Amino acid sequence: MTRSASTSSTTPRNVLIGRAAELYRRSRDPPERFLALTDIQIRSSIAIVYGPARRLRLPLLLLALLVASCAPGRTPSLAGAPRPLSPVVAAPIISGADQLIPLPDGPTAFAAIVDVLRTARRSIDLELYEFQRLDLASMLLDAHDRGVTVTAIKDPSERSSRPTWAELEQGGVRVVAFPLDRLTIDHVKLLIVDGARAIVGGINWGIHSPLNHDVDVLAAGPVVDNLERVFRQDLALAGEPIPIPPPATDRLVQVLVTHPGDGIRAAALAAVAAARHSIDLEMFVLSDRLILDALVAAARRGVGLRALLDRTQPQNATTMALLQKAGAAVRFYVQAGDELLHAKLGIFDGGTVLFGSCNWSYSGFTRNHELDLLVRDAGLAQIFLTRLDQDWAASAA
């Protein structure tokens, strides 16, 4: 494919990307300013055709638009009435030597993603389960054009993302496949820029992902070194020879993985067992038997247990009945338009937070390759609790 060089002239694509970054920086803008990002993937996909690079083929763009309009369980319109959004936190949470900026919803997460991609200078490391965002693929190709080393790890079983990965490979980006067993997926969502900043959490880069309620952070500090170590380990598992540094010491922010390992379930069980006053959960899927037994035991010993669950997942109805019988407060998340509660968030005693890509299911804990953070910081916990409180109130029967 012939690819022309990028230019600095103002184009529809550049306007869209610049607007997203500006929204991220101007965190005091009213929440409705962020809503425009929910359809940026559609409008920018069209704009890219007429931008100077013209790198993304028209058939691929038409395919993305078709997926956006025909995906099961989603309406083609993006003009629903989303619930008010929490503003981006302008100042980072200082947790030991780490700095964490909470990204408590889809639009703020994607605004941060756009910002770090635009400012990458040396390297971009990306590991994703779902990737259909053509505007972000174009930004990765732009970074490659300006000399940034772009390396990506994909889940080869995720079919809807294959055209995007193929476009990146054709454009010269190094893309490797995570090795999968028959029942395994690479469910990680990780972006590292220049070895200094990372966005990690639960959000995919799919067509509808900006509509979803997810939990992520933009991180700097030793945690980024440990996230980079996970990325390098995954490259090694994929057969790419690469040195793997020793783990960095980080007392307050712990990086956890599954498959290989079972660190996330072990951390979740330990956090539930250690809770004395409160456990607050916001979950896409909550069904793992060991976790449910531990939660029931916590509720019966007097720990205040609150769980907000996504109603689209059939397992959650059984979980609701079980936890309510034990005395827990449980609600189904009331969706706004096409939104999903896609978060995987646990907050313990208002001071410890466990979140990331891992659903609290048997598959999430034992079969899938997942990545979570365990953060012992009351400031971060309070920010995510505030958002959970908003969601809880909006989901009252």
Reply yes or no on whether the pLDDT at 320 is more than 90.
Answer: yes
| pLDDT cut 90: percent of the chain above it | 68
Domain boundary residue, one of 211, 237, 263: 237
**What's the start-to-end Cα distance of the chain, in Å?**
55
Same domain, 316 and 386: yes
What is the number of structural domains in the chain? 2
The answer to whether residue 143 sits within a structural domain is yes
Encoded tokens for 330: 């449980």
Distance of CA 335 to the CA centre of its chain: 18
Q: Are residues 40 and 156 in the same domain?
A: yes
CATH of the domain at 345: 3.30.870.10
pLDDT score recorded for residue 46 = 27
The better pLDDT of the pair 111, 9 is held by 111
pLDDT of residue 382: 96
Q: State pLDDT tens for residues 176-196.
A: 999 998 889 999 999 999 999
Predicted local confidence at residue 211, as pLDDT: 86
Task: Tell me, yes or no, whether 344 and 386 share the same domain.
Answer: yes
Q: Please say if the pLDDT value at position 53 is more than 50.
A: no
Q: Which structure tokens are listed for 60?
A: 């691929």
> Do 258 and 231 share a domain, yes or no?
no
The string of pLDDT tens digits covering residues 322-360 is: 999 999 999 999 987 777 899 999 999 999 999 999 999
Query: Are 188 and 224 found together in one domain?
Result: yes
Q: What is the pTM of this model?
A: 0.80
Could you tell me the residue range of the domain that residue 282 belongs to?
253-394
Paired sense of beta strands 190-193 and 123-128, if any: antiparallel
- The neighbouring-strand residues paired with 152 are 126, 175
Q: What is the pLDDT of residues 7-38, one digit of tens each?
A: 333 333 344 334 444 433 443 333 333 323 33
> Is the domain of 221 the same as that of 257?
no
**One domain, residues 232 and 327:** no
Question: Looking at 34-38, 60-64, 114-118, which range is the least confident one?
Answer: 34-38
The pLDDT score that the predictor gives to residue 120 is 98
